Structure 1
Amino acid sequence: MMRNVTTKRLNGRLRTIRGLVVAASLLAGPSVVSSAVIAYGQEVAGQQAVDLKSDVLQWVDELDADSLSKRKAAERALIDAGPAALEFLPKSKPGISIEAVERLSRVRKTLMQQRTESETESDAIRVMLDDVSTLGDALEAISRDSGVEFDHDADVSLAIDPVATPLSFWHAVDLVLDQANLDINFYAGDESTLKLVSRDPERPSRVDSAAYAGVYRIEPTAVTSRRSLNNPTLSGLNISIEIAWQPRVTPIGLTLPIAQLSGELDDGEKLKPQESGETIDVATNSDIAFSEFFLPMQLPAGQPGKIESLSGLIRALLPGKKQTFEMPLSNVGEKTLIDSMTVEIESLRPNGPLHEVRVGIELKDADRSLESHRHWIFENEVHVLRKDGSRADHLGYEVYRQTAAGVGIGYLFDLGDTAGESKLIYRSPTAVVPSEVSFVIQDILLP
């Protein structure tokens, strides 16, 4: 088989390079060894790409094989090859059967889903604080591993204890802020920057107050109980919650199913949700990495002192990696496809002294992301690059079409007489993937 031939060929090269490395180490020292190893790595990577392309094209041909078992095996082999095979999949293949077209479509959809899931999983980064000793070191390490910056006026020489094990983003941030006596002002930051401020003296430990789940940090901030004497059905216990997500990973359509909420009280009784609907919808915004809501629970019958544990489920669509679309404004009607997203300049026309650029955006397998939760697409970066290299930001937009799978947006630009020689730059996540994580909050004091 092709795999065996490839493996033998690469093993032969490996033995040859190993021999060269040993000889080089005897004659010229470690620097030559390093160069040889790097060169070998580059050669192997290039050869693997060539071999993968050859395999992918062969498997695509076998999607139309005479034998059903061979067709199924080819589809499975393409999926097992993983997202790296996507760049070698043909967009279409003339002359193949309808069944082969359907199999190729399934393969592409599965591999794109795998790639998006991989990207969103990698967004739930792990932070290493094993080699830090000061606040400056710790914040630099978090920025290095997450891409999130910190705006602050604190003393960077403050001592911070190192941590040997990898931490989630929010756990790492909270450990550092607890030691530095700092807190976060979410309203003063932006999509990739957190503003650090001095902590209120009465503020409890951030680590002890929060639960961590995936890219989220969940913290109860207040508990209010209400007993209605003339209509007991109106009695209840509301738990105010602050939920933060890792900056640069803004969830889409964040919801909590009420039926999944449950709690344990310190008197041994269960805490149940009120019958107030099916889900709790949480508003999200890319510039502010947190939101607030409350959990509607039934009023306990006894006199418990605290909720020992409160569990639930967070559902959302997480955006995949952002990609950049570059399209000449002169190419009206030409579509550009990246991953699951298609962007088209539908028209370019004068609008008084300005120009209106009408852009159509379609997202395959959009799920709920372009229904009631489509606000994220209006926050995408859009500008025009003029011929001289200068940038023109849009002066406003109007939505002229909305469907379950796409939108049409008209952007206004001041382009003068350079419109026909300019390019539209559109930057957006090109896929979304459903995400579901459980959380448990412990030791919530009751009034």
Structure 2
Amino acid sequence: MVGSLLVVTSLLIGQAEIPSDGDLASQVQMLVRQLRDGKLEQRDAAEKALIALGPGVLDHLPALQANTTVGVQVRLGRVLKTLASRIVDKSMPVSRVSLAGEMSLAEALSALEKQTGNRVVGLYGRGGQVKPKFDKTSYWEALDELLDQAGMRIDEYGGSENALTVVARPEGQELRRGRADYFGQFRVETTRIQAVRGLRRPDERRLMAWIEVAWEPRLTPVYLVQPLSDVTATDENGDAITIEGLEGARGVRANHNISSVEIGLPLQLPDRNVKQIALLKGNMTATLLGRVESFEFANLSDAEDELQRRSGVTVVLERIRKTDGLYDVYVRMRFDQAADTLQSYRIWVSNAQAFMIDAEGRRMEHLGYETTREDAKEIGMAYTFDLKDGPQTCKFVIRIPTLIVDTPVNYELKNIALP
């Protein structure tokens, strides 16, 4: 154990060189063993050393087994969460732009794309000239200003993956600036209000406030959820407006071709003398894909329980079975992250990219899939392929998330007129 302690100490102090992948794997293996040490200080030192080695550790952490002690599970969970957060923080910072002068809208949007990685399509030469004056301005504030100057708007159903589609703003539509709240990579705006008063039952009074939540198109949200207990509303007199169904939540699945969703917030319709919702506040959670990776399996003729592991995710190609001229590929995926993110994995896995690549490099999509198993940590899928020449010269590829992260989206919307 003396040797282990010396290695841990040197890691905590810092290393002059990043270890090679082979060295890193052996160091991770040794430090994981040290997590079982009888002395608390040794276990603490091993956990800190794993974190100090950086995100590369994620590819070498062992899969959690039924006989893994609770203490080791907890420590490995903290290591995984800390390193995953570092990856997300580095890859998904809040985008800010600096731009000034007179230019075409196309030139301005091109500059924003270079600075942020956010694509905008659909201009087709429209938009005219704009005069931005941005100094480390958030992406959404800058984009709203440009679109307002150019007489354009975003087409929420443009259908472009990881891109925003812009179209001409219809006559009479309000400007974008001043209507939304900005929180990090997100933009939140009230889009419509629906009110119901029962004529036969005066106590039947319902109000639905619809908010649009948009995100920078470079991001890939999976799911957004708004607990109704985290929503508050007040009128112009400072009196509270009742939120209906406080014990529930409103969740919505994100579409990868649309960079926004709408969420309806149920409120009790106030008396007629109340003219507006002076303040609508909420704290919701967006589940984002932090990193998506490809798991590739060759030599399919003899494939049986072939295993690959990265960043807390284990993929097992269990077998390939031929039925009625078609081939079913059975895959099992195990996720080491906490169970409260499993629903996010289920949503993504149901739309995961699973395909074959033949000997000539051509991609062949599956004909369909079915879920074969599902529990607290694992999901099993069977993908069906039509392979005329069989699987022996093909490679099976499945792209799934290795990191999923929950991020808060807090908003304050003001002066919402009631019908």
Q: TM-score range by the shorter chain?
A: 0.7 to 0.9
Structure 1 stretch displaced more, 337-346 or 110-119: 110-119
The answer as to whether partners of 2:127 and 2:151 remain within 8 angstroms in 1 is: no
1:163 aligns with 2:163: no
Query: Residue 127 of structure 1 aligns with which residue?
Result: 96
Deviation for aligned residue 1:230: 4.3
| DSSP-derived class of the 2:156 partner | strand
Going from structure 1 to structure 2, the CA distance change for 1:188 and 1:84 (only over 3 Å counts) comes to same
The answer as to whether partners of 2:47 and 2:79 remain within 8 angstroms in 1 is: no
Deviation for aligned residue 1:57: 7.2
Query: Residue 325 of structure 1 aligns with which residue?
Result: 295
Query: Residue 408 of structure 1 aligns with which residue?
Result: 380
Aligned-pair identity in percent equals 28
User: Which residue identity lines up with residue 130 of structure 2 in the other structure?
Assistant: A
Going from structure 1 to structure 2, the CA distance change for 1:399 and 1:248 (only over 3 Å counts) comes to farther
Which aligned pairs between 1:390-409 and structure 2 lie closer than 5 A?
Answer: 390-409=362-381
Deviation for aligned residue 1:118: 3.2
Work out the CA distance in 2 between the residues paired with 1:9 and 1:306: 58
Going from structure 1 to structure 2, the CA distance change for 1:420 and 1:128 (only over 3 Å counts) comes to same
The answer as to whether partners of 1:132 and 1:138 remain within 8 angstroms in 2 is: no
Q: 2:83 aligns with which of 112, 115, 118?
A: 115
Query: Residue 414 of structure 2 aligns with which residue?
Result: 442
- CA RMSD, Structure 1 to Structure 2 (Å): 3.4
- What is the TM-score normalised by the length of structure 2? 0.83
Q: 2:235 aligns with which of 250, 257, 265?
A: 265
The answer as to whether partners of 2:51 and 2:82 remain within 8 angstroms in 1 is: no
Query: Residue 400 of structure 2 aligns with which residue?
Result: 428
Deviation for aligned residue 1:394: 1.6
1:228 aligns with 2:198: yes
Query: Residue 357 of structure 1 aligns with which residue?
Result: 329
| DSSP-derived class of the 2:244 partner | coil
Deviation for aligned residue 1:423: 0.9
User: Which residue identity lines up with residue 428 of structure 1 in the other structure?
Assistant: I
User: Which residue identity lines up with residue 272 of structure 1 in the other structure?
Assistant: T
The answer as to whether partners of 2:95 and 2:185 remain within 8 angstroms in 1 is: no
Work out the CA distance in 1 between the residues paired with 2:163 and 2:61: 40
Deviation for aligned residue 1:312: 0.7
Going from structure 1 to structure 2, the CA distance change for 1:90 and 1:186 (only over 3 Å counts) comes to closer
Work out the CA distance in 2 between the residues paired with 1:243 and 1:8: 44
Work out the CA distance in 2 between the residues paired with 1:137 and 1:382: 38
Which aligned pairs between 1:15-414 and structure 2 lie closer than 5 A?
Answer: 47-49=17-19, 53=24, 62-63=34-35, 67-86=39-58, 91=62, 105-121=73-89, 122-130=91-99, 133-134=102-103, 135-152=105-122, 153-155=124-126, 158-167=129-138, 169-275=139-245, 277-301=247-271, 303-328=273-298, 329-330=300-301, 331-365=303-337, 367-371=339-343, 374-414=346-386
| DSSP-derived class of the 2:130 partner | coil
The answer as to whether partners of 1:79 and 1:107 remain within 8 angstroms in 2 is: no
| DSSP-derived class of the 1:427 partner | strand
The answer as to whether partners of 1:370 and 1:403 remain within 8 angstroms in 2 is: no
Aligned length in residues:
404
The answer as to whether partners of 1:86 and 1:108 remain within 8 angstroms in 2 is: no
| Structure 1: runs of 5 or more not aligned | 11-43, 93-97
The answer as to whether partners of 1:371 and 1:403 remain within 8 angstroms in 2 is: no
| DSSP-derived class of the 1:303 partner | coil
The answer as to whether partners of 1:371 and 1:404 remain within 8 angstroms in 2 is: no
Deviation for aligned residue 1:91: 3.4
Work out the CA distance in 1 between the residues paired with 2:43 and 2:83: 24
| DSSP-derived class of the 2:367 partner | coil
> Which of these two proteins has the greater Rg computed from alpha carbons?
1
Deviation for aligned residue 1:226: 2.4
| DSSP-derived class of the 2:392 partner | helix
The answer as to whether partners of 2:11 and 2:52 remain within 8 angstroms in 1 is: no
Structure 1 stretch displaced more, 286-295 or 397-406: 397-406
Going from structure 1 to structure 2, the CA distance change for 1:396 and 1:139 (only over 3 Å counts) comes to same
| DSSP-derived class of the 1:191 partner | coil
The structure whose residues are more often helix, as a share, is 1
Residues 323-382 of structure 1: CA deviation (Å, up to 9, x unaligned): 111112342211211112222222212233432222222222353444488332122222
Work out the CA distance in 2 between the residues paired with 1:78 and 1:5: 12
User: Which residue identity lines up with residue 62 of structure 2 in the other structure?
Assistant: K
Work out the CA distance in 1 between the residues paired with 2:235 and 2:14: 65
The structure whose residues are more often strand, as a share, is 2
Residues 416-437 of structure 1: CA deviation (Å, up to 9, x unaligned): 2241121111112112223333
Deviation for aligned residue 1:150: 2.0
The answer as to whether partners of 2:309 and 2:315 remain within 8 angstroms in 1 is: yes
| DSSP-derived class of the 1:420 partner | coil
User: Which residue identity lines up with residue 363 of structure 1 in the other structure?
Assistant: F
- What is the TM-score normalised by the length of structure 1? 0.79
